[in-house]
């Protein structure tokens, strides 16, 4: 074959190959083309689901991306690592509406559920129940991403969680995967720090974001608004470990400090001291965000607060900014209301979330379980003002009422009455959360309670749900123990937090300041059962003991003896906090005090620290006590501080001291 023929044939072959490729390319255009990147993006749509093996959203067990929220687990569970009952889930991410319209969301839920969209709480049914819940309406813009957050718990029986939506143009349907996206993962910016000008975490002076905890203030203070001594700080947010390993945390602290990770109290040294404190170990998963809370106080001298961590792959280091995140800002949920069928805030009957305080029960009562007269209520949580101004609060009350903001008793009208009562003014900072506590009793006749506020920029109004938040829910820290060097609960020698009542002192004593015989102790706080059941308590005691739960005396053996005492049975509701009070004396010989419990689902065990809590901050009114000559003998302040006054023979004040 000649050279020209070879060239012509080669050219013809190239043309044929080109035409064939073009045909293939045209055919490809007839088929759906899926970019590898787009395919990955579609597969990643959905919400981030965090699964907990209990009902209180602590103790993270599993994290995954759920394509949508459309689950009917029946009598099963979401995963083999999670029990079939008493689990909880938090889903987070964004939702993108298709239309610029007013939407309604629906949750088919068994049991409790809360739904926020764009920071607004649209559904709040955090109780054991099974139904389809309808949200408040919300106006959304098409193709715009809005933050969404769903919290859910399963108590017993069937388990269901299904999220739907509807609008004028959107037929009611399960919110599809295409409109859901998990939260964008960003590098940490630090923790929220709240600074107080005292050692009891009240009297908020400053809030800021601290990039990490690496503070050595020496003899100075964190800010000009705080004194160099007797200040305190609370840091909150989330922490993201780098490895799926067991971590240990360290706090270099001068003075007291407490550390919680994922609701677990890992360090508890709430005393004046200076040292490096080492936490209990905790197993964490890489890339997951865990709640973190640190409380710190400085009493006198130098001030230091440094947070470090380590794991098998993580060298010991200060926890860096990149792994710390401030808490998510969401609209308020309301306050925790605890309802009692008497006037002295004992005998808990009902606990619920009240969106706001604007009630006029007339001659009725708040609930069928409560009589129409002689009941009482305690509301607790936090309040967020809108302006940095001086606020005044008002309470419409029939009858008695008390109001504390940030630990300060602003209104005290604990008497039979009816009217609107004005508080002392208080200076607050915009967008900061302050502890709020309201106590109320109804004696006879009508019953009403209403909470309002005003400031130079805030017109007088009932405080809306958006500015009211539930109290932080943490695992227990134990009970307050007061120890006396006699058998009649007088002559206080020592007060401390005891993680559990599990003591076998033998022939010894609780502390060097107390003799081995003829001492007594009182433990107080609250206890949180796990089940809606009838409980029996046991007190292994040598010698005398008395036990009250929810104001009921269920053990009374105030004699010299040695045995395990069994209580009267008592019906309790799961996850409610009940007052508990234990009194004990040791006469001679051996000394032991051990508190256990059992129920139909609760095997007999020592009551664990996780279910025991410190007493409520009731911030009792200031008490003035005078001696026979009419002079001040001592003052007991609302935070429990007592100042004693001493005089010479001529009645001149010599000194005063704590």
CA distance 249 to 235: 15
User: CB neighbours of 526 closer than 8 A, spacing ≥ 6?
Assistant: 577, 578, 579, 580, 612, 613, 614, 615, 616
Rounding to the nearest 10 degrees, give the CA dihedral for residues 502, 504, 505, 510: 0
| End-to-end C-alpha distance for the chain, whole angstroms | 116
Question: Residues of the chain with pLDDT > 90: what percent?
Answer: 60
Phi, psi of 272 (to 5 degrees): -70, 120
CA distance 527 to 210: 34
Using the structure block, give the residue that is written with the tokens 């004028």: 168
Residue range 473-520, pLDDT digits in tens: 777 889 999 999 999 898 888 888 899 999 999 999 999 889 888 999
Cα 356 to Cα 109, 436, 449, distances in angstroms: 24, 13, 10
Q: Is residue 11 pLDDT above 70, yes or no? A: no
Tokens, residue 585: 């004396």
Q: What is the DSSP string of 489-523?
A: S-SEEEEEEESS-EEEEETS-SSTTS-SSSEEEEE
Residue range 391-446, pLDDT digits in tens: 999 999 999 999 999 888 899 999 999 999 999 999 998 888 899 999 999 998 99
Q: Is residue 15 pLDDT above 60, yes or no? A: no
Helix (H), strand (E) at residue 38: helix 36-44
Phi, psi of 321 (to 5 degrees): -55, -35
Name the pLDDT band for 449 (thresholds 50, 70, 90). very high
**Residue 361: its pLDDT value, please?**
94
**Residue 102: its pLDDT value, please?**
95
Residue range 572-630, pLDDT digits in tens: 988 788 999 999 999 988 999 999 999 998 899 999 998 999 887 655 556 777 777 77
**Residue 40: its pLDDT value, please?**
35
Q: What is the DSSP string of 572-621?
A: E-TT--EEEEEEEEE-SS-EEEEEEEE-SSS-SEEPPGGGEEPPP---PP
Helix (H), strand (E) at residue 261: strand 257-261
In terms of pTM, does the model score above 0.75?
Answer: no
Name the pLDDT band for 181 (thresholds 50, 70, 90). very high
**Residue 174: its pLDDT value, please?**
96
Confirm if 245 and 287 have CB atoms less than 8 A apart: no
Name the pLDDT band for 115 (thresholds 50, 70, 90). very high
Phi, psi of 58 (to 5 degrees): -130, 160
Residue range 52-78, pLDDT digits in tens: 988 888 778 888 999 999 999 999 999
Residue range 196-211, pLDDT digits in tens: 988 888 878 889 999 9
The tally of CA atoms less than 13 A away on the side-chain side of residue 344 is: 6
Cα 564 to Cα 516, 534, 542, distances in angstroms: 21, 19, 9
Q: Is residue 463 pLDDT above 60, yes or no? A: yes
What does the pLDDT average to over 167-181?
A: 95
CA torsion through residues 329, 437, 417, 350, sign: positive
Q: Is residue 31 pLDDT above 80, yes or no? A: no
**Residue 23: its pLDDT value, please?**
35
Rounded (5°) CA angle 77-79-85: 30
What does the pLDDT average to over 555-577?
A: 92
Report the chain's C-alpha Rg in angstroms.
Answer: 30
CA-nearest of 166, 104, 155 to 130 is 155
Name the pLDDT band for 36 (thresholds 50, 70, 90). very low
DSSP type of residue 214: E
**Residue 574: its pLDDT value, please?**
82
What does the pLDDT average to over 119-126?
A: 88
Name the pLDDT band for 345 (thresholds 50, 70, 90). confident
């Amino acid at each position: 074959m000649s050279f020209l023929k070879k060239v012509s044939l080669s050219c013809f072959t190239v043309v044929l190959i080109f035409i064939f490729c073009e045909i293939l390319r045209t055919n490809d255009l007839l088929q759906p083309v899926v970019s590898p990147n787009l395919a990955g993006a579609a597969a990643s749509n959905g919400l981030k689901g965090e699964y907990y093996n209990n009902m209180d959203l602590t103790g993270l067990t599993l994290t995954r991306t759920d394509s949508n929220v459309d689950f009917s687990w029946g009598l099963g569970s979401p995963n083999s690592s999670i029990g079939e009952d008493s689990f909880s889930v938090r889903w987070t991410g964004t939702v993108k509406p298709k239309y610029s319209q007013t939407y309604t969301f629906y949750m088919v839920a068994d049991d409790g559920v809360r739904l926020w969209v764009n920071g607004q709480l649209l559904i709040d049914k955090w109780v054991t129940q099974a139904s389809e819940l309808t949200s408040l309406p919300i106006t959304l813009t098409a193709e715009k991403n809005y933050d969404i957050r769903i919290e859910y718990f399963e108590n017993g029986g069937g388990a269901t969680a299904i999220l739907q939506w509807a609008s004028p143009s959107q037929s009611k349907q399960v919110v599809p995967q295409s409109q859901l996206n998990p939260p964008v993962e960003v590098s940490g910016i630090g923790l929220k720090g709240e600074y107080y000008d005292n050692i009891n975490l009240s009297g908020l002076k400053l809030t800021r974001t601290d990039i990490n905890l690496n503070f050595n203030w020496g003899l100075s203070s964190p800010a000009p608004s705080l004194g160099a001594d007797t200040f305190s700080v609370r840091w909150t947010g989330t922490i993201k470990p780098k490895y799926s390993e067991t971590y240990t945390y360290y706090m270099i602290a001068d003075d007291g400090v407490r550390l919680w990770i994922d609701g677990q109290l890992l360090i508890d040294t709430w005393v004046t001291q200076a040292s490096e404190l080492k936490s209990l170990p905790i197993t964490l998963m890489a890339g997951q965000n865990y709640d973190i809370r640190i409380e710190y106080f400085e009493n006198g001298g130098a001030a230091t607060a440094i947070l470090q961590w380590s794991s098998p792959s993580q060298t010991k280091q200060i926890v860096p900014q990149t792994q710390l995140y401030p808490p998510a800002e969401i609209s308020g949920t309301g306050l925790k209301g605890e309802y009692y069928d008497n006037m002295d805030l004992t005998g808990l009957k009902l606990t619920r979330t009240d969106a706001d305080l604007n009630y006029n029960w007339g001659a009725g009562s708040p609930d069928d379980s409560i009589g129409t007269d002689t009941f009482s209520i305690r509301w607790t949580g936090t309040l967020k003002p809108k302006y940095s101004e001086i606020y005044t609060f008002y309470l419409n009350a029939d009858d008695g009422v008390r109001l504390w903001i940030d630990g300060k008793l602003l209104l005290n009208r604990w008497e039979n009455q009816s009217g609107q009562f004005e508080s002392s003014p208080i200076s607050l900072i915009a967008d900061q959360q302050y502890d709020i506590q309201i106590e109320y009793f109804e004696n006879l006749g009508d019953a009403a309670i209403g909470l309002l506020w005003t400031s130079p920029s805030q017109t007088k109004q009932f405080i809306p749900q958006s500015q009211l938040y539930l109290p932080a829910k943490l695992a227990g820290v134990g009970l307050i123990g007061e120890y006396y060097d006699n058998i009649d609960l007088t002559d206080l020698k020592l007060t401390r937090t005891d993680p559990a009542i599990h003591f076998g002192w033998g022939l010894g004593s609780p502390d060097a300041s107390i003799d081995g015989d003829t001492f007594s102790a009182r433990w107080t706080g609250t206890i949180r059962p796990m089940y809606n059941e009838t409980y029996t308590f046991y007190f292994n005691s040598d010698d005398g003991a008395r036990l009250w739960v929810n104001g009921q005396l269920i053990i009374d053996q105030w004699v010299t003896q040695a045995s395990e005492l069994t209580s009267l049975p008592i019906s309790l509701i799961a996850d409610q906090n009940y007052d508990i009070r234990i009194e004990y004396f040791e006469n001679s010989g051996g000394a032991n005090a051990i508190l256990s419990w059992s129920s139909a689902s609760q095997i007999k065990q020592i009551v664990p620290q996780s279910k025991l809590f410190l007493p409520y901050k009731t911030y009792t009114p200031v008490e003035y006590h005078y001696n026979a000559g009419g002079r001040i003998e001592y003052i007991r302040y609302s935070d429990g501080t007592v100042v004693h006054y001493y005089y010479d023979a001529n009645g001149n004040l010599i000194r005063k001291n704590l």
